[in-house]
Amino acid sequence: MAQINEQLVAQLVRQVLQNMDGSAPNPAAPEAARSGPGVTAADYPLGSKRPDLLKSPRGIPFQELTLEAVESGKATFEDFRITPDALEMQARIAESAGRPQIARNLRRAAELTRVPDERILQIYNAMRPHRSTREEMEAIARELEETYAAKVCAGFVREAAEVYGRRKLLRGDLPSSD
Predicted confidence at residue 78, as pLDDT, reads: 92
Predicted confidence at residue 37, as pLDDT, reads: 74
Taking only the tens place, the pLDDT of each residue in 56-80 is 999 999 999 999 999 999 999 999 9
- Note down the domain range covering 92: 1-114
Which residue, of 78, 94, 114, is where some domain finishes? 114
The answer to whether the CB of 118 falls within 8 A of the CB of 107 is no
CA-atom Rg of the chain in angstroms: 19
DSSP string covering 84-96, please? HHHHHHHHHHHHH
Predicted confidence at residue 22, as pLDDT, reads: 36
Domain count, the chain: 2
Q: How far is CA 104 from CA 31, 93, 173, in A?
A: 17, 12, 31
Which residue, of 58, 82, 114, is where some domain finishes? 114
User: Residue 45, preceding bond cis, omega within 30 degrees?
Assistant: yes
| 81 and 143 together in one domain | no
Predicted confidence at residue 177, as pLDDT, reads: 58
Predicted confidence at residue 176, as pLDDT, reads: 57
Mean pLDDT per 10-residue section of the chain, whose length is 178 residues: 53 52 32 62 94 95 94 94 95 96 94 96 97 98 97 95 96 72
| 145 and 177 together in one domain | yes
Cα separation, 52 vs 46, in Å, equals 9
Helices 100-112 and 84-96: crossing angle in degrees, nearest 10, is 180
| 59 and 143 together in one domain | no
Instruction: Report the 10 Å Cβ neighbour count for 134.
Output: 15
Predicted confidence at residue 130, as pLDDT, reads: 96
Predicted confidence at residue 55, as pLDDT, reads: 95
| 97 and 9 together in one domain | yes
Predicted confidence at residue 57, as pLDDT, reads: 95
Cα separation, 168 vs 106, in Å, equals 29
The one-character DSSP state at 31 is: G
Predicted confidence at residue 8, as pLDDT, reads: 57
